[in-house]
Structure formats: structure tokens, C-alpha cells
Chains A and B, each alone.
Chain A
Amino acid sequence: MALQTSSLLVSVQDVSMIYKTKDSRGQALETIALKDANLEIGTGEFISLIGPSGCGKTTLLRLLADLIQPSKGSLLIGGKTPQQARESRAYGYVFQAPALFDWRTVQQNVMLPLEIMGFSKEERITRAEKMLKLVGLEKFARNYPWQLSGGMQQRASIARALAFDPQLIFMDEPFGALDEITRENLNLELLRLWRETGKTIIFVTHSIPEAVFLSTRIVVMTPRPGKIEKIINVDLPQPRNFDTRETPRFFEIATEVRESLRHGHGYEEEV
């Protein structure tokens, strides 16, 4: 698990997430969402978590974001616990759905985290302007979310996550609901953003081409119990473009990912 890039940013040590519940008849139920996960991520990396549903990839992301707490093990983000990281607003989170607020214009949506974090009004406006330009939505600043297409809405939510300039971005299947063509375009844009801003991105997906195209490393996860199966280095040169998808190396890595996914038991049931 050697790091390619500079300093360590995220470390996950022996983390397990077990849901212990009882049904109303008092019978104990135990669901292992994640088992003994170990992972280290350096600053500036683009990490994809890939796997079928139930493999714990979203769980891992939510653990890092302190939206849930682990049953066992420890997580560190820049030397802080997830809770400290959340309290110091160290990361931005992009969800499956845009989760924009209907009653705010696109610009006001992007300014939401800035308002909560107490930025001055001028600062809010300049930052929102800059972010909207970055995602190519400057013309739609005054529109309401429902006036935007799904892809544009998701771009707005990315701008919102970048607005307060966190070093770390979590993305949970942000393009899952979009069509293939829009998705490929947004992938390209996301790569450009990542290069221009130098952020560290942890990206959840269930699309193999997407993972290979975007990532510096791919974390392959398998279900029942959810665990990390393999970590694959993606040595495709930067900057990548549409041609990258046609290279033999791209297919080799894609095949490697596919095979390690298949290696983990239970995958057959998913397809």
C-alpha cells in the first residue's frame, strides 16, 4: 500500500461497522456493513471506492464524514478524528442526489455553506461567482434548481462542496442518476477541477470505466460482509481525455478491477 504522492491525509485502521439490532420479537440481528477495513490516502490523490451495493463503500464514506460512527477501529483525517474534522469543516460532501434547496437560487445554494460558516457577504459573492464559473454555471446563478437539468444540478452541488475550499472532497455516486453521455462529460470536467484545485477526492461509484478513468487508485470492495478486496494502482498518464478510454492500458486495468470484483463472493447475485 505504498503511497505515490506526498503526505498522508486519511488513514483508516481496522475499521468495522456492525449494526446490532433486535426485531420486535427480540431476536438479535447482526449486519456487518464493513469488516476490518484498512486504507491510507495521501494528499492530492483521487481514490475511487468501487463495488456492488452492500459492499460498504457508502458506509466507509459516511464513517469518514462522521455521519455515522464505527463499531470498531479508528479513522484519522489530517491527524484529526472524523468528528473534529467535521467540526473544523475539513471536507466537502457531494451526495447521490444534488440535494439543492428548492427555495434558493443556484448562487444562493452555493453560498449556503459560506453563510453557515460565517463568511462575509463580499467573500460569499466572490467565491460563489468563482465556483460557478469553475463548473460552468455562471449564466444560471439566478435560476432556481428546478430550472436546471439533472447534470447541471449536480454541477451546482459540486460547486457548493468546493465553495468553502476544503482540502478533501467526498463524492458518493454523484453521477449515478445521470445518463452515460452527461456522465462522461462530467467525468472529464471533474478531472479538470481536480487538477486545477489540487484537492483530494474520495469517490464512490459502481461504474468500472468511471473509476478507471478518474482515479489514481481504485479500492475494490466486495459485499457480505463488506470489505476491501484489493487496491489497484491506476498508472494512466495525466492529463487524461476521451482518448485515454481507448488505450489498451485502460482496458487492462478495467479487466483487473472486474476480475477482483468477481473474486469477491456474492457478486453473481448482484448481476
Chain B
Amino acid sequence: MNKSFIPMLTVALVVVVLSFPLMVFLNAQSAQRLLDRGAELPCGSALSCAFNLRSPVIPAPNQLLEDFPKAFFPLTDPNSIPFHGFFTALATVLGLLLAGVVGLGLAVLLTVSRAFERAVLPWLVASQTVPVIAIAPMLAVVLGSNGVQGLLPKVLISAYIAFFPIAVGVAKGLKSPDLLQVDLMRTYNASSVQMFAKLRFPASVPFLFTAFKIAMTAALIGAIVSESSTITDAGLGRLLSENSRASDSRSLWLVMFGSAALGIALVALVGVVERLVTPWRRVR
């Protein structure tokens, strides 16, 4: 990590430096259009306005820095991004856990019965290539019209989106023990419960976490989409759709950064739990 710090910083700087002229150009164009229409701008020329537009095409760095403290602090302010982020995170994590339980159950069924697997697995696999998220906004509306409101619909939609990768991943994990290990258990005359408890479940744990990492991002997207499709008290999705409608690009950028940070943090959280739960894979 230390070795890559300076290269990472360099890449970040290059991206900023390259995008800076683009920002100035786009904003100045937009300011010029406003001036041409005879709007009164306090900043004078189009070029200087590029850094101070109320609703810039791309916010200038100075504007983002200026807005940052207001948008993120204090954390408990009901308008702050972290406050909204907390509710999104809550829905995401609960959804993931729910999906984990259901997905595990289904994966066990898939492992127990080859016939069941034949009929169901192709659909699960196909689900990986289908934009499942397309159903989320409709689900949000239908759940809302049935009186399911608040946190619950978000959790359900997150769980729904996260379910597919988890079920597929765990099913793969439960089947991962090699033939020798299965034979070994048979020489011990192990019962089928023991076969699961001592061999298949522990063997599937690494697969479970790999699936959790993918599912976590999917669940977060599910939560955000469901928040932006219905009336909800708090959540990043609500901020996104509100600011999107109000064309408030300065806030949109900050919400984007907040969401990205939340996504990274949640996946990192899975990584931390993984390291705690699977000590045998440490320091590989």
C-alpha cells in the first residue's frame, strides 16, 4: 500500500489537472450563454464566472471545498450527507443479511437435490446476466401502495437485488469440497448433517464473502434506487433525485462522493468481517 501511495497520488493529480480545463471550458460556455441572454452575473466575465456559477456544469474545486463542510457536518444534522448515508447503509446491510439467510437456504436445497438444481439453477445463473435492478423502482411503488413504508421496502429491495449473487456464490461454495474430502467424511460414516456442518459450510465461507462483496454493491444500488423512486424520509437516493430535479450540481457531486465513499466503506467492512471469520486465510 505504501509503495503505491505516490503513484496513486500522481494518477489522481493527473486526472484533476486534465479535467480542470474541461471544467473551465464547459462552465465558461454556460456562463457566456447566460450573459448573452442578458442575465446579470456578479462575477463579470465568462471566464471568472466559470468558478462561481450557481449551478455549474461541473463544479469548480473551490466550490466543492466550500460546500463540503456544510454538506457533511455536523453528522447528526438531518440535512447532512452522512445522516442520509446512515439510513441508506442501514437498509443495505439489513437487506444483505436477509439475502444471505434466504440465499443460504436456497443454496442448501440446490446442493441437497440434483433434480431441484436442474430446474432452478439455470434461472439463477441467467439472473446474473439480467438487469434485475430494473424491477426495483416498480417494486418500491408496489410495496408502497400496499402500505409497506419506511425502512422495510428498502431492505426488501436490497435483499432482492443481493439475493441472486449470494445464492449462486454459496451454491458454488457448498459444492467446492473435492472428492477426496467427501470420501474422507464417508470413511468416517459421517451423517449428512455432519457433512454440511463439518465440511460443506466451512468450505463455502470464502465463497460466501466473495459473493457478499459483489452483493453489497448491488444491495447499495438497490437501496439508492428504491429511495429515489418513492417518498422516503432519508437516504442518499432521496438526495440524488431531489438535487437532480433541482439541477443542483454542486450538491450532486458531493452526494456522489459520499455514495462512493459509502460503497467502498461497506465493501471494506465485508473484508474486515471476512478476515475475522476466516483466520486460516490470513497472511497468505
Indicate yes or no for A touching B, C-beta below 8 A.
yes
**Which residue from A89, A99, A102 sits with its C-beta under 8 Å from B189?**
A89
Residues of A within 8 A of B187 (CB): 65, 67, 86, 91-93
Number of A interface residues in the complex (CB < 8 A)? 25
Closest beta carbon of chain B to A150's beta carbon, Å? 15
B180 sits at the interface (CB 8 A): yes
B5 interfacial contact with A, CB 8 Å: no
11 A-B pairs besides A93-B183, A95-B180 with CB distance below 8 A are A65-B187, A86-B187, A89-B188, A93-B187, A97-B180, A99-B184, A103-B203, A103-B278, A116-B188, A116-B189, A146-B284
Asked if B188 and A99 sit within 8 Å, CB to CB, the answer is: no
Within B141-186, the residues touching A (CB, 8 Å) are 178, 180-181, 183-186
Q: How many residues of B contact A (CB 8 A)?
A: 21
Verify if B214 is at the interface (C-beta below 8 Å from A).
no
Task: Please report which residues of chain A, range 67-117, place their CB below 8 angstroms from some CB of chain B when the two chains form the complex.
Answer: 67, 86-87, 89, 91-93, 95-97, 99, 101-105, 112-113, 115-117
Chain B residue with Cβ nearest A112: B198
Asked if A103 and B280 make an inter-chain contact with CB atoms under 8 angstroms apart, the answer reads yes
In the complex, A211→B198 CA distance in Å?
Answer: 35
Considering the complex, give the chain B residue whose CB is closest to the CB of A108: B280
Say yes or no: is A140 at the interface (Cβ < 8 Å to chain B). no
Contact B190 A116 (CB under 8 A): yes
Q: Quick check: B184 and A104 within 8 Å, CB to CB?
A: no
Judge whether A102 and B280 touch: CB under 8 Å.
yes
Bound CA–CA A99/B178 (angstroms): 8
Decide yes or no: A144 and B280 within 8 Å by CB, A93-B183, A101-B202, A116-B198 being known contacts. yes
A116, B280: Cβ atoms under 8 Å? no
Interface residues of B (CB under 8 A from A): 178, 180-181, 183-190, 194, 198-199, 202-203, 205, 278, 280-281, 284
In Å, the complex CA distance between A89 and B205 comes to: 29
Query: Roughly how many angstroms separate A65 CA and B183 CA in the complex, as a whole number?
Result: 10
Q: Are A86 and B202 in contact (CB under 8 A)?
A: no
**Measured CA separation A146–B281 after assembly (Å):** 9
Those 8 A-B pairs whose CB atoms lie nearest each other, nearest first: A99-B180, A93-B187, A144-B280, A103-B202, A95-B180, A116-B188, A103-B280, A116-B190
Q: A184 to B182, alpha carbons, bound, how many Å?
A: 29
A86 touches B189 (CB 8 A): yes
With both chains docked as a complex, state the minimum distance between the C-beta of B172 and any C-beta of chain A, in angstroms: 16
Q: Are B180 and A103 in contact (CB under 8 A)?
A: no
- Neighbouring B residues of A146 by C-beta, 8 Å: 280, 284
A34-76 interface with B by 8 A CB criterion: 65-67
- Measured in the bound complex, the distance between the Cα atoms of B183 and A66 in whole Å is 10
Instruction: State whether B183 touches A95 (Cβ < 8 A).
Output: yes
Alpha-carbon distance between A30 and B280 when the two chains are bound, in angstroms: 45
B188 CB contacts on chain A under 8 angstroms = 89, 112-113, 116-117
Contact, CB under 8 Å: A87 / B189 = yes
- Residues of chain B with a CB closer than 8 A to A113's CB: 188
Q: How long is the Cα–Cα vector from A99 to B179 in the complex, in angstroms? A: 9
CA of A104 to CA of B183, assembled, Å: 18
Q: When chains A and B are docked, how far (Å) is the Cα of A144 from the Cα of B186?
A: 23
Residues of A within 8 A of B203 (CB): 101-103
Name the A residues within 8 Å of B185 (CB-CB).
Answer: 116
Whole-angstrom CA separation of A146 from B206 in the bound complex: 15
- In the complex, chain A residues whose CB is within 8 Å of the CB of B184: 93, 95, 99
A67–B189 Cα gap in the complex (Å)? 11
Closest Cβ neighbor of B177 among chain A residues:
A101
Most B CB atoms within 10 A — which of A89, A101, A105?
Answer: A101
- Residue in A closest to B201 when the chains form the complex, CB atoms: A103
22 contacts between A and B (CB under 8 A): A67-B187, A87-B189, A91-B187, A92-B187, A93-B183, A93-B184, A93-B187, A95-B180, A95-B183, A97-B180, A99-B178, A99-B180, A99-B184, A103-B280, A105-B280, A112-B188, A112-B198, A113-B188, A115-B198, A116-B185, A116-B190, A144-B280
